């Protein structure tokens, strides 16, 4: 077997965490390709190395002395090196970084050095080959990701490496200019490596034992999701579940490579297995609950709307012209409601209302603010009768007024709209009716 293992910043924050990671990797010889993030916080109130690099570079860009800030970053790495008793010098690397900061190589270059340096330390600690991501992860000149070239370069390079460390988060254009993925992009690097080498498993090690059925800030000690499909994960990630970068599932999904979310601090926990499809019966009817606050609804009413060809397109064109994306659009015979992010909409609300009146001449337009959307997701809902009824019953019992309900055609999710003030109560009620009553 071939496994790709990615470790997040909290898993590599100090020498003690490095040793835990080393034990995990050495426990299975299949764990042959390692993707490290930059060192995260060592304790509450600490600063992540990536944030230190951003601050240091901005000081350099302002023409101010950044020597002490760079020295503090260097000390973070040497603290790890000393703690691991490694015979490793990073003086040459830091000299290059200092020069490039003075030459204003860019914020993306600056941010990428956290993973680059941690990759150097990890390779020395494990005795693995170091492969600079700038040589194998390719971006176009406009900053967009070049998937085909990356797949070819990674495949060719790693076919010659029995064991390798590839730093996460960054790559480069063909001319060598460093580019980065969005924050948390080391997850994507791991996925790309797994795809390029046709891995049997992509293990993503972090500080939690997998995906939770609900947000632990709302539900006390929620259950862990044992198995989840890519599609279910996409639904939950879209609504705020953030254990894994949502773009990281696409490369491995093409080859059906499973992802295993594991806990560095509790390596015996099985974690969550993310798969394309499974015949495993889910433990509960639902797989997970996720949601966001801060939406508003625009309700448009017009008699005989359903017979007017192009009505919906004209309405949505108004939102597009104002640069506003919509989230959901439930409709009736003579009504159509558009849900949007409130902070995007507030400054343009009057232009939108005027545009709707001009475009479709509605009988009336009404708005409601301070709404939340909750996604109830689960492949088990397809074969279970009365799921929506149980949700409504639970919410009614909790005195939560439902503003909207929208079920996808795949029967994989149900979206519920409630007032912001009822958000936490609604999540707890749904969790209780589907999870607590089955335990």
pLDDT tens digit sequence for 372-389: 999 999 988 877 788 888
DSSP of 271-316: -EEEES---PPPSSS--EEEEEEEEEEEEEE-TTGGGSTTHHHHHH
Beta strands in 348-402 (DSSP E): 364-377
CATH 3.40.50.300 fits 288-438, yes or no: no
Alpha-carbon span 58 to 55, nearest angstrom? 5
Residue 271 reports pLDDT greater than 80: yes
Q: 228: pLDDT confidence band, cut at 50, 70 and 90?
A: very high
Percent of the chain clearing pLDDT 90 (strictly above):
82
Amino acid 407: pLDDT? 79
Residue carrying the six token digits 């508003």 = 296
Give, to the nearest 10 degrees, the angle between helix 147-158 and helix 186-196.
60
Q: Are domains 3-207 and 288-438 of this chain identical in fold?
A: no
Average pLDDT over residues 226-255: 85
List the end-to-end C-alpha distance of the chain, in Å, as a whole number: 36
Alpha-carbon separation of residue 132 from 18, 178, 284 (angstroms):
20, 11, 43
pLDDT of residue 288 exceeding 60, the answer is: yes
Is it the case that residue 439 has pLDDT exceeding 70? Answer: no
pLDDT digits (tens, 9 = 90+) for 299-320: 999 999 988 999 999 999 999 9
pLDDT of residue 18: 97
**Could you tell me which of 394, 431, 36 has the C-alpha nearest to residue 204?**
36
Cα separation of 351 and 355, whole Å? 6
8 Å CB contact between 36 and 9: no
**Where along the chain do its domains lie?**
3-207, 288-438
Q: How far is residue 374's CA from residue 16's CA, in Å, rounded to a whole number?
A: 39
For 158-192, the pLDDT digits (tens) are 999 999 999 999 999 999 999 999 988 899 999 99
Q: What is the model's pLDDT at position 409?
A: 62
**Does the structure show a pLDDT above 60 at 73?**
yes
CATH number of 3-207: 3.40.1160.10
- DSSP letter at 417? E
């Amino acid at each position: 077997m071939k496994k790709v293992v990615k470790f997040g910043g909290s898993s590599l924050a100090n020498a003690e965490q490095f040793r835990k990671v080393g034990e995990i990797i050495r426990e299975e010889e299949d764990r042959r390709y390692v993707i490290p993030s930059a060192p995260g916080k060592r304790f509450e109130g600490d600063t992540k190395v990536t944030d230190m690099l951003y601050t240091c570079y901005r000081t350099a860009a302002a023409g101010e002395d950044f020597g002490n800030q760079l020295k503090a970053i260097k000390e973070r790495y040497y603290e790890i090196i000393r703690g691991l008793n490694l015979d490793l010098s990073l003086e040459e690397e830091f000299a290059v970084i200092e020069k490039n900061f003075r030459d204003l190589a860019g914020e993306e270059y600056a941010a990428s050095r956290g993973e680059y340096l941690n990759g150097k330390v990890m390779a020395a600690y494990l005795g693995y080959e170091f492969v600079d991501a700038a040589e194998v992860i390719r971006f176009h000149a406009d900053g967009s990701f070049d998937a085909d070239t990356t797949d070819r370069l990674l495949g060719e390079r790693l076919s010659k490496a029995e064991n390798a460390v590839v730093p996460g988060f960054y790559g480069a254009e063909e001319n060598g200019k460093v580019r980065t993925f969005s924050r948390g992009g080391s997850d994507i690097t791991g996925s790309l490596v797994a795809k390029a080498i046709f891995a049997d498993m992509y293990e993503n090690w972090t500080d939690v034992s997998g995906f939770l059925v609900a947000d632990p800030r709302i539900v006390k000690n929620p259950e862990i999701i044992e198995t989840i499909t890519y599609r279910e994960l996409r639904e939950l990630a879209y609504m705020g579940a953030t254990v894994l970068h949502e773009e990281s599932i696409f490369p491995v999904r093409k080859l059906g490579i499973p992802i295993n979310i594991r806990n560095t601090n509790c390596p015996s926990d099985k974690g969550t297995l993310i798969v394309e499809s499974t015949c495993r019966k889910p433990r509960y009817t639902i797989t997970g609950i996720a949601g966001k606050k801060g939406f508003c609804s625009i309700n448009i009413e017009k008699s005989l709307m359903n017979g007017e060809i192009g009505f919906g397109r004209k309405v949505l064109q108004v939102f597009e012209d104002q640069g506003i994306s919509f989230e959901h659009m439930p409709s009736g015979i003579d009504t159509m409601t558009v849900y949007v992010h409130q902070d995007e909409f507030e400054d343009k609300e009057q232009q939108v209302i005027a545009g709707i009146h001009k475009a479709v001449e509605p009988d009336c337009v009404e708005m409601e603010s301070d709404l939340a959307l909750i996604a109830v997701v689960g492949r088990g809902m397809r074969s279970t009768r009365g799921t929506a009824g149980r949700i409504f019953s639970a919410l009614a019992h909790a005195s939560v007024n439902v503003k909207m309900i929208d079920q996808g055609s795949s029967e994989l999710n149900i979206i519920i709209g409630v007032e912001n003030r009822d958000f936490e109560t609604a999540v707890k009620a749904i969790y209780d009716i589907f999870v607590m009553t089955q335990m």
